[in-house]
Structure 1
Amino acid sequence: MPGNTASVRRGRKYDQVLKGAREIFLRDGFEGASVDEIARTAGVSKATLYSYFPDKRLLFLEMATAQCQAQADEVLVALDKSKPPRVVLPYIGRSVLDFLLSDMGQRVFRICVAEADRFPELGAQFYECGPVLVRSELQSYLAAAMARGDVEIDNLGLAADQFIELCKADLWIKRLFGIHDVFSEGEITRVIDAAVETFMARFGPSSSA
């Protein structure tokens, strides 16, 4: 498969091409996205596009991982590990849920699933560039919180995964199946607050039980 051996070339119009690709992939999906339309939207020739990305799947992979990396970086820059769990966990939970409910988050998830057999590295690389980064930082924060006595956790990785899953309750599955596209601030706050309360009930200090 070309995507296994092809490589991305970075240059003057790299960001321009990615911006055009993001617009078209979000609008048309992976299969529906036309390389001609991406080139036109990006304001480059088809030859120029192919000089940067020899394969459409490689272009989508680069666009998706760049977007996920940017999202993760935005979350992590503002993460203050010195603050208590009831301050930090709502921030992380809200950031994760906002991305999962977004058009980009939904589109990338659907395409990763649809292309899993033909393009398994797509999901793997996307996972490494976004979810793994956030999970790793959450795990690191929980370790710091545990050292301060704010939480009591035996398996930090599992606890981080469980918190992220709690934040997906109700809303993510409704978004995935198209039951609702937009959620109110109250609905989002309800889920995040419940996730934090459930997590702290399980992992908070014994003295707070």
Structure 2
Amino acid sequence: MFRHEPSRQAPSLGRPKDLEKRAAILEAAKTLFPVRGYGGVSMDAIAQAAGVSKLTVYSHFQDKDTLFVESVKARCEELLPSDLFVPRFEGPVRAHLTRIAHAFFRLITSDDAIAIHRMMSGQTTGDSHLPRMFWEAGPKRVQEALTTFLQAEHAAGELHVPDCALAASQFFCLLKGECHARLLCGIGEHYTPEQIDRHVDATVDLFLRAYGPGRR
């Protein structure tokens, strides 16, 4: 008689405990970088705030640059989810643009985003790689996502956008407007919900007057 050996299951990758630790590390990074600045945050501080060892931090993120970049990406995804940029042709394009606009405005006027932008402004030109890292992890990725969205809407005939990259830049610049500039200078106040609605609606209307399907 042959005895049946109990089957051995291969260890699974991405165990929940590991994912929880990674999430805790990212959460700590998202909290500490805007408050203390890049130079004021150490991997030891991240580990302590996340409740893990420094070795665990390095096992998930190879260095502080990587952790900073991933924290920027995570914050953008949190407030401006990538699925917002998936074209949906079952409804009016204006509604889709309005949703994107509200999410983008909420992101750029958040306290964390204002703190990070001020941090970037404090970097000496040509003396730091930090602004480029931030740009590529945050603003550039978001703008590329909107560019892809506009290209799809243009191809479907929902919009007429000869230069989608330029139009994406224009859309976001219009949304920033005076409010974002005043917040960066520390002299502005956050808009009320009614003011935000009016600002977003006016921006989307202006954008559609330039790039609506009737412009062909």
In the superposition, the TM-score normalised over structure 1's length comes to: 0.76
What is residue 3 of structure 1 aligned with on the other side?
none
What is residue 100 of structure 2 aligned with on the other side?
92
Is the alpha carbon distance of 1:60 and 1:84 closer, same or farther for their aligned partners in structure 2, counting shifts above 3 Å? same
What is residue 157 of structure 2 aligned with on the other side?
149
**How many angstroms does 1:47 deviate by?**
5.0
Cα distance in 2 between the residues matched to 1:92 and 1:108? 21
Q: 2:35 aligns with which of 24, 27, 41?
A: 27
| Aligned partners of 2:87 and 2:152 also within 8 Å | no
**How many angstroms does 1:189 deviate by?**
1.2
Q: How many residues align?
A: 197
**How many angstroms does 1:88 deviate by?**
1.2
**How many angstroms does 1:148 deviate by?**
4.0
Is the alpha carbon distance of 1:93 and 1:77 closer, same or farther for their aligned partners in structure 2, counting shifts above 3 Å? closer
Listed as ranges, the gaps of 5+ residues in structure 2 are: 1-13
For residues 85-139 of structure 1, give each alpha carbon's deviation from its aligned partner in whole angstroms, at most 9, with x where no partner exists. 211111111111111011222223223333464432x333433333333323322
**How many angstroms does 1:76 deviate by?**
2.1
Matched, 1:38 2:33: no
Pair member with larger Rg: 2
What is residue 161 of structure 1 aligned with on the other side?
169
In the superposition, the TM-score normalised over structure 2's length comes to: 0.74
Q: What is the RMSD of the two structures over their aligned residues, measured on CA atoms? A: 3.0
Instruction: Say which SS state the counterpart of residue 132 (structure 1) adopts.
Output: helix
Percent identity at matched positions?
31
Q: Which has a greater percent of helix? A: 1
| Aligned partners of 2:70 and 2:137 also within 8 Å | no
Listed as ranges, the gaps of 5+ residues in structure 1 are: 1-9
Residues 1-209 of structure 1 aligned to structure 2 (within 5 Å) = 12=18, 13-46=21-54, 48-49=56-57, 55-72=63-80, 74-77=81-84, 79-82=86-89, 83-115=91-123, 117-120=126-129, 122-206=130-214
Cα distance in 2 between the residues matched to 1:80 and 1:86? 12
Q: Is the deviation greater in 89-98 or in 74-83?
A: 74-83
Cα distance in 1 between the residues matched to 2:121 and 2:54? 28
